Structures are given as structure tokens and as C-alpha cells.
A and B are shown apart, each in its own frame.
Chain A
Amino acid sequence: MKVFVDEDKCCGAGSCVLSAPEVFDQRDDDGVVVLLDAEPAEHLHAAVREAVQVCPAAAITLA
């Protein structure tokens, strides 16, 4: 699994951080998403898929 985030789309509500804190964080100056792990391990895949599903701005994509 490869994770991509689009900082321009992100509205910083932090839903992804709630779902997968190992993979997503937020930038201190504006709350925009920070990708911690672009190729997360298998046991995190379900949480990352949830993050994609709940992201309100369609800012996270998978490949």
C-alpha cells in the first residue's frame, strides 16, 4: 500500500489522525496533514482505509 496526501485539499479536521495516528499527523502552524509513513505496514492498512473513507476533503489517496 502506498499513501498520498494532498495538502492543498486538506481542511485539517484531523479525522485521519484519529483513525491512524501512526501514519498521519498535523502540521503545527496550520493543522494541515503530515504523512508520517507513506508505505505503512500490513497491520495498519485497515486503519488507513478508514482514514481515506472519513477524510472530508478527499485529500488522501491510495495506490
Chain B
Amino acid sequence: MTSTMDPAGHSPAEVPEYPMPRAEGCPFDPPPALRELQEQARVTRVKLWDGTTPWLVTRHADQRAVLTDRRVSADMTHPTYPRQAAGGGGTLSFIGMDDPEHARLRRMVGPAFMVKRVEEMRPMVQAIVDDAIDAMLAGPNPTDLVEAFALPVPSLVICKLLDVPYGDHDFFQANSRTMINRNSTPDERTSASARLAEYLGALVARKLEKPGDDLLSRLGEKIKAGDLTVRQATEMAVLLLIAGHETTANMIALSTALLLRNPDQLAMLRESDDPALARSAVEEMLRYLNITHGGRRRVALEDLEVAGCPVKAGEGLVIPNDIANRDPEAFPDPDRLDITRSARHHVAFGFGVHQCLGQPLARLELEIVYRSLYRRVPNLALATDFEKVPFKHDGFVYGVYELPVSW
């Protein structure tokens, strides 16, 4: 191997492009070419859409090490940050910032997502799920599970969290979709996010005037104390909406598709009264599907080593959690879907200080869906050929565009 080759033995001209396509007929599995890279090397170069060639980290243990390394930055405004697409280049609140400012801002909204606070939301979330099932059953059969159930549930939950009126939901869904769709032009993305920001800014202003007992009102207190600007509070609200809506919706629909293809696992879930089984199913679904399939993106601030490979300051790092969650070093028989396995150490929520802040809420929503939907609708079935289900290969977050179901 010469020094111009990367550890997987690719010469500069052969550096594989990332992201890679999934295999035809295997929409629940990571791309085969990515798994080959994992077998070949712990760290390897890949080529992105803009021609840059950051490092890609393939193993579970090394991904966790990189994501907890303080010399590695999540600063999306860094000139060599490996971006997922053109345009933007800014950050949405603290998700693209480093500590200490990241921690300062994250801790302002932290209390709302504490495990015990989220647990208090259980009856509210259960009611939302029950109502959504009632509405679906009262509507046309067959129907699209995404529109009828998967999108409205997390949308309503996040709106309760932010105290946003339900009447404004269509507006939210349309704009947040435009913001995260890979096919949107930079202009479309910018104006969608501007519309959302404007609406949430007005909401923050209303909460400043008439505070209640909600997350935005508590941010209002920080504004009054001079710790936060109205603009920063608005950006946080936009972040929570974007990060918490489409992700959870995609998990609900995609995991339902997966369960319908694995009737034994679905039956186990439906027939068990054990809440612990629903909880371990949540972890296994998160692991197996890993919907944030574009990988975590970081940039090295100093020279460092990743699994023995020297990485220079300023070089980009791509950390695809989907293959870490199928790493045989971390999960025995990783391609077997097993809702009884212990999968808590998956990295579907990322790792390090940016690990998903909303994870207790996401877990609660999925647990309640898994314990409710399949029991209330025991004969739920796919209402189309599986081959015809449109998967979101082009989305920032993986899922299905539509899931026609009948009962």
C-alpha cells in the first residue's frame, strides 16, 4: 500500500462515493457497498456530492470514540464541515454548535425532555395515539398510514410541547418537509425555514407577553433575564419541530412496514402484555432501521488518530450510524431482527454531547404506538405489493413516502 492510498486501499481516483444506494429488494438494510467498506477498513475515505473526500468511520466502537472526542467539532459553519447538500451552511440552533455554547443552549430546553417530565406526558401521548387510531378506523379503508397516522401523532405531540395551535399543523408539515427534502432547491429551503421561523417568532413574542406553563414560556424567562435573544429562542423552537416531527413519523411508518414483513415479531408484540417487551422492541427498531441514514457529520479541529488512522486538523468525518448498528462486533447476528434482544447501546440517536435530546419523548411515542396500534388493528395488512412501497431513498431522514394499509 502506498501513502497515496487510504486504509481500505483505494487510490484517489477510486475513492467510493457516499452516500451509497441500498440493494434492490432490501430497503431495511444499509447499502451493501457500505458494509463492504466496514469489512475492509475501520476508517476509509469517501467522496461526497461536492467532490470533497472526508474520512468515514465504519465501526461501532470507533464511531462512539469519535463522537465523544472533544477535538471533533459539529460546527456546521466550519469551512470544511462535510455538508449533506448544497445551500444552507448555517446551523439550526445548538445542533451545529460546539460546547460551551452548545451546552448552555441545550440545557435551557433540557428540563422539558427529562425522563420524568416526559413520563408525565404519557396520558397525553396515549390520548393522541388513541384518537388517531379512532380517526383512521373511521376513515377510508385502505388508507395511507403515513398521512392518516404516522405524521399527525408526533406533530400533535410537538405542538403540545410548544403550545402551538393544531389549526396551524398543515402549514408546519408542508414547510418542514420542504426544509428537509433533498430535492428542494436552496431557495425553497430558505423560504420554508423563514416562514416557520416567522410563525414561531410570533409565538415566542406571545409567550413573552402572556407566559404559560410551557417550554417557550420558560425560554421567555431566559430572554427576560438577558441570557437568550428572541431570535435564538425562535431557532430552538424551529429545531425542536424539525428534529422531532419527521423523524418520529418516519420511525412509526417504517417500523410498521418492517413488522408487517416480519409477522412473527409483530405477533409477539401484539400478544404480549409486557411493557418491557414494547420497550426493547423500540430499541431494536431504532437499531435496525437507523433512519438518520446520511450519517453524523463532523470536522477535526486538531490532528488526531481514529483507530490508528491519522486524521488532520480541518479534515471532515462522516459517521454512518446505520452500519455501526449492524456491526457484528457490537451486536451478535446483527441482521436478525429480534425485538427481545438488548439493543440499548445502538447509536440511532447518535452519540456524544449531541446525542438526541428528544430521545425520551421519541421512545415514549414509539412505545405507545407499538402497544396500541397493532392491538387495536390486529388485522392490519399491507394494501399494496411490497415492491411498490415508495421508500425515501432521497430523504435526509429515511422512511416511506406512503404506506397503503388495510384492516
Contact = CB atoms under 8 A, between A and B. Distances in A.
Contacts of A14: 113-115, 359-360
Contacts of A32: 107, 110
Interface string B339-370: 00000110001111111110110010000000
B352 A56 contact: yes
Contacts of A13: 113, 349, 355-357, 359-360
Given A11-B103, A53-B345, A30 B68 contact: no
A11 B113 CA distance: 11
Interface in B72-113: 103, 106-108, 110-111, 113
Nearest to B102: A11
B116 interface: yes
Contacts of B113: 12-14, 31
A35 to B, nearest CB: 15
Interface in A1-55: 9, 11-15, 17-19, 21, 25-26, 28-32, 50, 53-54
B116 A26 contact: yes
A58 B70 CA distance: 11
A28 B111 CA distance: 6
Contacts, number: 75
A21 B351 CA distance: 21
Given A13-B356, A19-B344, A26-B116, A56 B350 contact: yes
A56 B114 contact: no
A4 B164 CA distance: 40
A57 interface: yes
A56 B351 contact: yes
Contacts of A19: 344
Contacts of B357: 11-13
Interface string B134-156: 00000000000000000000000
Interface in B155-173: none
Nearest to B70: A9
Contacts of A21: 115
Contacts of A9: 353
Nearest to B116: A26
B68 A12 contact: no
Contact of A12 (B110, B344, B349, B352): B110
Given A11-B106, A12-B114, A31-B113, A50 B344 contact: yes
Nearest to B65: A58
A56 B355 contact: yes
A19 B110 CA distance: 19
A12 B116 CA distance: 12
B107 A30 contact: yes
B110 A31 contact: yes
A11 B115 contact: no
A19 to B, nearest CB: 7
Contact of A17 (B108, B115, B344): B115
Contacts of A56: 67-68, 349-353, 355
A15 B108 CA distance: 18
A50 B111 CA distance: 23
A57 B352 contact: yes
Contacts of B359: 13-15
A15 B352 CA distance: 12
Given A26-B115, A50-B344, A57 B353 contact: yes
Given A13-B355, A30-B107, A32-B110, A54 B360 contact: no
Nearest to A51: B344
Lowest 10 A-B CB distances belong to which pairs?
Answer: A31-B110, A56-B355, A30-B107, A14-B115, A17-B115, A11-B353, A12-B110, A26-B114, A31-B114, A56-B351
Interface of B: 67-68, 103, 106-108, 110-111, 113-116, 344-345, 349-357, 359-360, 363
Given A30-B111, A54-B345, 4 more contacts: A17-B116, A30-B108, A56-B67, A57-B353
17 contacts: A9-B353, A11-B103, A11-B106, A11-B354, A12-B357, A13-B349, A13-B356, A13-B357, A14-B360, A15-B359, A21-B115, A26-B116, A31-B114, A53-B344, A56-B349, A56-B353, A57-B355
